[in-house]
Structure 1
Amino acid sequence: MNDPDPDRARPRRIRVAVVFGGRSSEHAVSCSTAASFLSAIDRQAYDVVPIGIAPDGRWVTVADDPEPLRLTASQTPRVDRDAPHVLVPTSTDDRTLIVVEPGELPRDLGEVDVVFPLLHGPFGEDGTIQGLFDLADIRYVGSGVAASAAMMDKHLMKVVLAGAGLPIGPYTVVTDKAWRRDRSRCLDAVASLGWPVFVKPARAGSSMGISKVNGPDELEQAVELAREHDPKVIVEGAISGREIECGVLEGHGDTAPRTSVVGEARVVANHEFYDFEAKYIAADDVELTTPADVPEEVSDLIRRYAAEAFDAAGCEGLARVDFFYTDGGEVILNEVNTMPGFTPTSMFPRMWAATGIGYAELIDELIELAMQRRMGLR
């Protein structure tokens, strides 16, 4: 006998809130990541609720259309703060999103099962939004508060990695107080690294605010540029070598982290290093090779270090771990990204595709890991 209500027998689709945009300087990059995600996620398996965070921090509804969110040479996407306002739950017994519009009664947007936070940089990738979700016992993709915060801060990250016995390069830190109290001492500390150096905001990504400094005359300006993004600045001694990356996925249950084949990003034109424009705009200026052409023993070592870094930091879900393979044959760990670029052409999904997990399947894996996660302290 035919069921008069065929929908009744179908399992309910997992409801995924995709959160993107945010207050950081990587707002447009986050939107671009969301565009790729919305294009690829399996609509037969998931109900998708796109939620944007405007640059001022306002949460709003966003049309389920990837095209306005793409980052191109002629389009810089931005979440519109004037869209209907979204209120997020803050108690452990509520998963309901509420939409508020001027002159209208609040309306129920429904419950969500899991959040996929496609946020890059401070106020999203740094443990802040993870803390909000933890307060309400909302499952989410990616690392928790502590790992997100420590890996976002390049200084704390190096302390954690060095403490785990992993190889890192030479660096010094310029805090806001130190810069204002004794600038000359900060400059002397940088000079002790030798030249050139790379000056970076301590808590930013996507190569925002980074400068290559070839001598002392360029240093103060580079520090001030980095301070536009973060009052805490890290300065790293230059390492001559190739930039090799490795993707990590959390293991299921009690299994060890899984690592992808390694990849290489090589600037071939118009850029001194792998900067923002090279990463997101001028694709022809960069050559991405997956798998990277390195000796098997080097690949194996990088993959082992990547898994060790993931565990040492307490990461969950996913990470991309970046290395230098020096001209002298050393492997030096550069940084851990807890929410790496996630467009189909980004290195993280490219490396996993070369390992045998395609983009849509990668989304499935990450949502499954988040759904399996125990709530509260872990």
Structure 2
Amino acid sequence: MAQRIRVGIVFGGASSEHDVSCLTAGGVSRAIDADRFEVVGIGITPSGRWVQVPADELRALRKQGDELPRLDESRPTAVLLPGAGDGSARIATIDGDRLADVRPFDVAFTLLHGPFGEDGTIQGMFEMLGVKYVGSGVAASANGMDKDLMKRTLAASGLPGCRFVTVTARQWSQQREESLARIAKLGFPVFVKPARGGSSVGITKVDAVDELEQAVLFAQKFDPKLVVEEGVLGAREVEFAVLGGRGGAPRVSLPGEIVMRTDGAFYDFEAKYVSDDDAILMVPTAMDDELRERAADVAARTFEAMGAEGLARVDLFLAADGHVLVNEINTMPGFTHISMFPALWAASGMDYTALITDLIEQALERPVGLR
């Protein structure tokens, strides 16, 4: 039997999405093709320390009731080391003044969500060390995480989106009335969001101007920079999963749709990861051929305009007048049992295990350095 490819699954992280990352890592490690791949568990604790996690413990990470899994701080600190110049690396535990349990891996599968992982930071470290890794590079990851920069990039590329206002910490502290006036021009409802966050953490739907200040202060707990978006009334919220083309055009899945069970509700953190009852995920969703092809084309163009690699989920609004609007791109979507990304590919003919294999193969095929 040929030696298995060693995959360093990097998860956890210092962001507010730590628990979601742990949940994703558990799902991926259970579904990975064990005949081809050997899992090397690389955790990052909530305080930002790197640690080694045995593969069996990694596979055991799952939701317990309403509680999401989480790394504790009791494990000894580990350190990432460069490999032999072939795209590989090593993880080692610090034991006093020496390194112990040195484990090499051939490719990194980074499952970090949010800042300090999904935002180009760890991708930059891998680039500097010459490590092969799954997913988008530095620029696409950074711009995809920052909703302000993402929307500016897509607009410059001619892709349609909803109206938005960016509010920085300085603008809020020194130009509060002007900031509130800019937001009010969007009309209501609006969605107040941390600019550099994900998993719907810190988002508030605002229906009137007197609710704005509280929503802004809440979002600023997660990011001092905010994006406020107009609510697209009567729109369908659909999503496409996109894979790198491996030498050709991006591959786009069938569409899925999120339908909230309660009128006026939105797809928040609770609905995504805790409750199984708040939303219905239509996978695939019904759509006439012309609209599906038009929306899929927007999803593929979004992937390419952002310079994404490997994978992304593109979220769209289908407005009541037939227009397709880009909501956002997620360069590291979730892989939980209720996540749209693997579900969309399963509906399109690629199961969970095959999807993980495809992503690892893309990373191994991709050269390190500028490309």
Smaller-chain TM-score range? over 0.9
Equivalent residue in structure 2 for 1:358, among 346, 351, 368: 351
Deviation at 1:375, TM superposition (A): 0.8
Equivalent residue in structure 2 for 1:313, among 306, 314, 317: 306
Equivalent residue in structure 2 for 1:268, among 261, 265, 276: 261
Provide the C-alpha distance between the structure 2 equivalents of 1:115 and 1:271, rounded to a whole number of angstroms. Answer: 40
Deviation at 1:108, TM superposition (A): 3.9
Which residue pairs with 1:138 in the alignment?
A: 131
Q: Call closer, same or farther: CA 1:369–1:190 in 2, change over 3 Å.
A: same
Runs of 4+ in 1 over 4 A off after TM superposition: none
Listed as ranges, the gaps of 5+ residues in structure 2 are none
Question: Does the 8 Å CA contact 1:71/1:280 hold for their aligned counterparts?
Answer: no
Q: Does 1:197 align with 2:190?
A: yes
Which residue pairs with 2:94 in the alignment?
A: 100
Q: What SS does the aligned partner of 1:332 have?
A: strand
1:247-272 superposed Cα distances (whole Å, 9 cap, x missing partner): 1000112x111000000011113871
Aligned residues: 367
Equivalent residue in structure 1 for 2:71, among 51, 65, 79: 79
Provide the C-alpha distance between the structure 1 equivalents of 2:157 and 2:163, rounded to a whole number of angstroms. Answer: 16
Provide the C-alpha distance between the structure 2 equivalents of 1:67 and 1:375, rounded to a whole number of angstroms. Answer: 29
Q: Does 1:178 align with 2:186?
A: no
Equivalent residue in structure 2 for 1:50, among 24, 32, 41: 41
Question: Does the 8 Å CA contact 1:29/1:71 hold for their aligned counterparts?
Answer: no
Q: Which has the higher mean CA deviation after the structures are superposed, 241-250 or 337-346? A: 337-346
Provide the C-alpha distance between the structure 2 equivalents of 1:287 and 1:233, rounded to a whole number of angstroms. Answer: 28
Q: For 1:170-249, what aligned pairs fall within 5 Å after superposition? A: 170-240=163-233, 241-249=235-243
Which residue pairs with 1:259 in the alignment?
A: 252
Q: Call closer, same or farther: CA 1:152–1:92 in 2, change over 3 Å.
A: farther
Which residue pairs with 2:331 in the alignment?
A: 338
Question: Does the 8 Å CA contact 1:148/1:315 hold for their aligned counterparts?
Answer: yes
Equivalent residue in structure 2 for 1:165, among 158, 164, 171: 158
TM-score, normalising length: structure 2: 0.96
Question: Does the 8 Å CA contact 1:90/1:135 hold for their aligned counterparts?
Answer: no
Deviation at 1:66, TM superposition (A): 4.5
Provide the C-alpha distance between the structure 2 equivalents of 1:112 and 1:239, rounded to a whole number of angstroms. Answer: 45
Provide the C-alpha distance between the structure 1 equivalents of 2:300 and 2:59, rounded to a whole number of angstroms. Answer: 35
Question: Does the 8 Å CA contact 2:252/2:299 hold for their aligned counterparts?
Answer: yes
Provide the C-alpha distance between the structure 2 equivalents of 1:331 and 1:271, rounded to a whole number of angstroms. Answer: 21
Question: Does the 8 Å CA contact 1:270/1:285 hold for their aligned counterparts?
Answer: no
Provide the C-alpha distance between the structure 1 equivalents of 2:228 and 2:219, rounded to a whole number of angstroms. Answer: 10
Identity %: 50
Deviation at 1:72, TM superposition (A): 4.5
1:117-172 superposed Cα distances (whole Å, 9 cap, x missing partner): 00100000000000010000000000000000001000100111111111000000
Q: Return the letter of the residue paired with 1:96.
A: R
Q: What SS does the aligned partner of 1:221 have?
A: helix
Deviation at 1:92, TM superposition (A): 6.9
Question: Does the 8 Å CA contact 2:41/2:58 hold for their aligned counterparts?
Answer: no
Which residue pairs with 1:17 in the alignment?
A: 8
Q: Call closer, same or farther: CA 1:66–1:269 in 2, change over 3 Å.
A: farther
1:316-354 superposed Cα distances (whole Å, 9 cap, x missing partner): 000000001112222111000000011232101111001
Q: Does 1:31 align with 2:22?
A: yes
TM-score, normalising length: structure 1: 0.94
Deviation at 1:90, TM superposition (A): 4.7
Equivalent residue in structure 1 for 2:146, among 153, 170, 174: 153
Measured on the aligned residues, the alpha-carbon RMSD in Å equals: 1.5
Provide the C-alpha distance between the structure 1 equivalents of 2:3 and 2:59, rounded to a whole number of angstroms. Answer: 28
Q: What SS does the aligned partner of 1:284 have?
A: coil
1:70-115 superposed Cα distances (whole Å, 9 cap, x missing partner): 234432321122212211025774722211235x842142221100
Q: Return the letter of the residue paired with 1:33.
A: T
Q: Call closer, same or farther: CA 1:208–1:263 in 2, change over 3 Å.
A: same
Listed as ranges, the gaps of 5+ residues in structure 1 are 1-9
Deviation at 1:67, TM superposition (A): 6.2
Q: Return the letter of the residue paired with 1:61.
A: Q
Deviation at 1:191, TM superposition (A): 0.5
Q: What SS does the aligned partner of 1:76 have?
A: coil
Provide the C-alpha distance between the structure 1 equivalents of 2:188 and 2:246, rounded to a whole number of angstroms. Answer: 45
Q: Which has the higher mean CA deviation after the structures are superposed, 134-143 or 37-46? A: 37-46
Question: Does the 8 Å CA contact 1:27/1:120 hold for their aligned counterparts?
Answer: yes
Q: What SS does the aligned partner of 2:75 have?
A: coil
Q: Which has the higher mean CA deviation after the structures are superposed, 283-292 or 308-317? A: 283-292
Provide the C-alpha distance between the structure 2 equivalents of 1:257 and 1:322, rounded to a whole number of angstroms. Answer: 16
